[in-house]
Amino acid sequence: MRWGFGREDYRVKPGLYALGTPVATSPVLVTGNYRLTLDELRSSLDELEAWLLVVDTRGINVWCAAGKGTFSAEEVARVVAETRLAEVVEHRRLILPQLSAPGVAAHKVKEACGFRAVFGPVRVAELPGFLAAGMKADAEMRKVTFDLRDRAVLAPAELRFAWDRRVLLACVGILAASSIGADGVSLSRALRRGTPIIGAGALALLAGGGLTPLALPWLPGRAFSLKGAVVGGIVAAAATATFRRQLSPAARLALLVGVPAVSSYAAMNFTGSSPITSPSGVELEMRRALPLQAAAAIVAVGAWIASRLGE
Amino acid sequence: MSTLRYIEEAVTLELDVTRCNGCGLCVAVCPHAVFAIADGRAALVDRGACMECGACALNCAPGAISVEPGVGCAQAIINGWLTASEPSCDC
């Protein structure tokens, strides 16, 4: 589902649900209606007796929904009223996921529905510890992590979304451009000349969208575009060395310049999957990197055309 | 995590300590431990780690914190440039 398969089936109906057999004094946990979130909640909290208040985030995860404003104090208050929560529980306390805070102002929740909003930990798995400690989160519970496992989960999802119609169109365009020769167009030439370029493109996407996210902390610099260019450069150098007999000098140049450019762009797009990048930083990085990426792409295309003319 | 840091020089986060009431919500909501409470007031202890999610500013009742919140996503910023509007992604 994370990869976009069966995404139409990702919404849970908003409302009040029971975890175990909660009573009037049981805690109320608030969350969004993304199915992956609720599956995670149910599997991590099977020992807990609690109320689960599901608000309508349109099937989007808590953090993104908070960023967009769909997970808001108004929405929480609306569902509190709709489910008549005040008649179900004795206390007046809601536990919200910490990552809903960019969308939910705790003081606004109190004003709008009379319930006090307490921010729980970042991760569901820490909820039992948080509750046992009297609703206190330690510093580790408050921090977002982005370790190798997190990145390994997100990189393939990001690559999956790169596979859309534009990529298919680009492949067709490359094959069409490759078919043209002095004697007109030819299908066999399209396959012979076009396939290596599509291969190089796939290699670049894999370098920038796959290898770069995995190796992120060990790559030089802070800009994702720089990290992606470095991985693209290494991959391109390896590919050039492997196929040096089949490649003309101009084709080698096209490979060495083009692959880092595409890899750099793909890596830059991984900023959207990372929990450490600030919009101001991404914009700064893009203003520096985009002209270089475009220039490198133009050089690569020029070198490729030159390599074809030299045949 | 501590070894992986992003570009810090453009961060827009500001704290006006004179308006702080020491409630500590900024410490509670920040996912990158940017704030700490010292002598009953908030302090910026790691401003460069800020990802500008806006949680602290929204939850600061006295309005002591300001930041230009948004998503740190290249695709969203491109969408914003193309449509000449606020950056927005479809994720």
At A172-219, the pLDDT tens digits run 888 888 888 777 888 888 888 888 899 999 999 999 999 999 999 999
Q: How far is CA A86 from the centre of its chain?
A: 37
Provide the pLDDT for residue A7.
53
Element (H, E) at A213: helix A212-215
Provide the pLDDT for residue A32.
95
Question: Domain boundary residue among A117, A142, A167?
Answer: A142
Task: Decide if A143 and B89 are in contact by the 8 Å CB cutoff.
Answer: no
Strands B41-44 vs B35-38: parallel, antiparallel or unpaired: antiparallel
Q: Please report which confidence band the pLDDT of residue A154 belongs to, taking 50, 70 and 90 as the band edges.
A: confident
pTM: 0.87
Q: Does residue A57 share a domain with residue A21?
A: yes
Q: Does residue A168 share a domain with residue A131?
A: no
Mean pLDDT of A225-232: 97
- Asked whether residue A161 is assigned to any structural domain, the reply reads yes
- DSSP assignment of A153-220 equals HHHHHHHHHH-SHHHHHHHHHHHHHHHEETTEE-HHHHHHHHHHHHHHHHHHHHIIIIIHHHHGGGSS
Q: Which of A213, A105, A192 minimizes the C-alpha distance to A149?
A: A213
Note whether B31 contacts A: Cβ–Cβ < 8 A: yes
Q: Does residue A161 share a domain with residue A46?
A: no
Q: What is the ipTM of this complex?
A: 0.90
Name the maximum alpha-carbon separation found in chain B: 47
Mean pLDDT of A109-130: 95
Low-confidence ranges of chain B (pLDDT < 50): 1-2
Phi, psi of A185 (to 5 degrees): -105, 150
Q: Which of A277, A275, A294 minimizes the C-alpha distance to A285?
A: A277
In chain B, the N- to C-terminal Cα span, in Å, equals 24
Q: Tens digit of pLDDT for each residue in A30-46?
A: 999 999 899 888 888 88
Provide the pLDDT for residue A4.
57
Non-local (6+) Cβ contacts of A139 within 8 A are B33
Q: Which of A158, A195, A166, A164 minimizes the C-alpha distance to A179?
A: A195
Question: Domain boundary residue among A109, A142, A175?
Answer: A142
The DSSP code for A96 is: E
- Asked whether residue A2 is assigned to any structural domain, the reply reads no
Q: Does residue A179 share a domain with residue A290?
A: yes
- Asked whether residue A1 is assigned to any structural domain, the reply reads no
- Helices and strands of chain B, counted as H and E runs: 3, 4
Domains, in order of start, for chain B: 14-83 (3.30.70.20)
* Number of Cβ within a 10 Å radius of residue B83: 10
Task: Decide if A222 and B5 are in contact by the 8 Å CB cutoff.
Answer: yes
Decide: B13 and B43 in contact? Cβ < 8 Å: no
**What is the CATH classification number for the domain harbouring A128?**
3.40.50.11600
* Number of Cβ within a 10 Å radius of residue A150: 16
CA dihedral B77, B73, B27, A66 (to 10 degrees): 80
Question: Domain boundary residue among A142, A176, A201?
Answer: A142
Q: What tokens appear for A111 in the block?
A: 């004003």
Q: Does residue A134 share a domain with residue A31?
A: yes
Non-local (6+) Cβ contacts of A6 within 8 A are none
Give the nearest partner residue to A277 out of B51, B68, B87, using CB atoms. B51
Q: Does residue A98 share a domain with residue A33?
A: yes
Q: Does residue A298 share a domain with residue A168?
A: yes
In chain A, the N- to C-terminal Cα span, in Å, equals 47
Q: Does residue A103 share a domain with residue A204?
A: no
Report d(CA A6, CA B66) in Å as an integer: 40
- Which residues does chain A have within 8 Å of residue B75's beta carbon, measured at their own beta carbons? 269, 272
- Asked whether residue A33 is assigned to any structural domain, the reply reads yes
Q: How far is CA A197 from the centre of its chain?
A: 27
Decide: A120 and A96 in contact? Cβ < 8 Å: yes
Q: What angle is formed at CA A271 by the lines to CA A266 and CA A273, rounded to 5 degrees?
A: 100
Q: Does residue A129 share a domain with residue A14?
A: yes
Q: Does residue A191 share a domain with residue A109?
A: no
Report d(CA A200, CA A226) in Å as an integer: 19
Q: Does residue A296 share a domain with residue A254?
A: yes
Report d(CA A89, CA B34) in Å as an integer: 35
Element (H, E) at A88: helix A85-88
Per the structure, the count of domains in chain A is 2
Provide the pLDDT for residue B2.
46
- Which residues does chain A have within 8 Å of residue B59's beta carbon, measured at their own beta carbons? 101, 104-107
Among A21-25, A34-38, A169-173, the range of highest mean pLDDT: A21-25
Provide the pLDDT for residue A185.
83
Interface of A with B in 11-50 (CB under 8 A): none
Domain span at A244: 148-309
Note whether B28 contacts A: Cβ–Cβ < 8 A: yes
* Number of Cβ within a 10 Å radius of residue A251: 21
Task: Decide if A276 and B61 are in contact by the 8 Å CB cutoff.
Answer: no
Q: Does residue A165 share a domain with residue A137?
A: no
Provide the pLDDT for residue A3.
57
The DSSP code for A34 is: B
Mean pLDDT of A21-29: 96
Q: CA-nearest residue of chain B to A282? A: B72
